[in-house]
Amino acid sequence: MTFNDIFKSSFLESVTEFSAVDTLIGMMFALVMGLFIFVVYKKTFNGVMYSTGFAMTLVGLSLVTTLVIMAVTSNVVLSLGMVGALSIVRFRAAIKEPMEIVYLFWAIAVGIVIGAGMIPLAVIGSVIIGLILMVFANRRIHDNPYILIFNCLNEAAEETAVLMTQKAVERFVVKSKTVNGAGIEVTAEIRMKDAETSFVNRLNDIEGVNDVTLVSYNGEYMS
């Protein structure tokens, strides 16, 4: 057996089995689905800071996964080597929002399905997932709570402020109360009626109330 025989039997046969048309079709659909995921992520994002880099990563992840699966499905030996190569990869990027995990798995799943040749499944599944996310992500199930903080000079001012707040809001729960020589500080979680905040001004006008602070609170951070 000569070197040419070995070269022909291993490399050239793989090249002849390669289909440029199938690859272009698969990559084109992966690009379209990746852009669709990109748009859905942008429309449904409601976090603190939007990351364009992460959104573009979703597109790239769909393309790369499709390319890898196309190569793996055509050669069993290559698939084993790919598993070994990818096992050493470590992703250390922090996930800022829980929904980002959903989009990462969605992009990977689209790449796997398209790479396996099941393009209709990828298209139909992505449309269904996108519609569900767009419907529920932007739907306000309940109003976000607020944190109300007011400082009073004496107990009479505190009682007046608490009574006024209870009448003005839908829900009032005291979270903490601090008493020292400078006065009384009360921190409460409230749910307002129709986003009406004018009662804060009235609280500040009460005699004995030094200052009033209203902060939006979603359970994880204050903004």
In a domain, 221, yes or no: no
pLDDT band at 127, cuts 50/70/90?
very high
Residue 22, token pair as written in the block: 């199938």
Distance CA 35, CA 59 (A): 6
pLDDT of residue 4: 55
The confidence score (pLDDT) of residue 39 equals 92
For the segment 144-172, the average pLDDT, to the nearest whole number, is 87
Tell me which of 118, 137, 156 is where a domain ends.
137
Alpha carbon dihedral 65, 68, 72, 74, in 10-degree steps, equals: 110
Residue 116: give the domain boundaries. Answer: 3-137
**Stretch 9-26: mean pLDDT:** 67
Domain co-membership, 156 together with 177: yes
pLDDT one-digit tens code per residue, 42-89: 888 876 677 788 888 889 989 988 888 887 776 655 555 555 555 555
Does any domain span residue 114? yes
| Tokens (6 digits) for 95 | 């996930």
Residue 173 structure tokens: 């729960």
CATH number for the domain spanning 154: value is: 3.30.70.260
CB 58 within 8 A of CB 34: yes
Domain boundary among 111, 137, 163: 137
Q: Are residues 169 and 188 in the same domain?
A: yes
Q: Are residues 154 and 130 in the same domain?
A: no
Residue 34 has pLDDT above 50, yes or no: yes
Whether residues 109 and 156 share a domain: the answer is no
Asked if residue 119 and residue 9 are part of one domain, the reply reads yes
Tell which of 137, 160, 178 closes a domain: 137
Whether residues 175 and 120 fall in one domain: no
Structural domain contains residue 222? no
Residue 223 lies in a domain: no
Do 19 and 100 lie in one domain? The reply is: yes
Do the domain assignments include residue 163?
yes
Residue 174 structure tokens: 């005291």
The whole-angstrom separation of Cα 86 and Cα 221 is 36
Q: Which residues pair with 173 in a beta bridge?
A: 189
**Quick check: is 207 in a domain?**
yes
5: exposed, middle or buried (C-beta count within 10 Å: 0-12, 13-18, 19+)? exposed
Residues 128 and 157 in one domain: no
Nearest-5° angle of CA 18, CA 20, CA 21?
125
69-83, 155-169, 188-202: which range is least confident on average? 69-83
Q: Is residue 31 part of a domain?
A: yes
Question: How far apart are the C-alpha atoms of 107 and 128, rounded to whole Å?
Answer: 14
Whether 125 and 153 share a structural domain: no
Determine the average pLDDT of the residues in 186-201: 82
Q: Are residues 23 and 129 in the same domain?
A: yes
Q: Give CA–CA dist 122/115, Å, rounded.
A: 10
Structure confidence at residue 10 (pLDDT): 52
99 plus 133 within the same structural domain: yes
**Type of residue at 196:** E
Report how many domains make up the chain.
2
Domain identity same for 125 and 166: no
Average pLDDT rounded to a whole number, residues 26-34: 92
CB 206 within 8 A of CB 161: yes
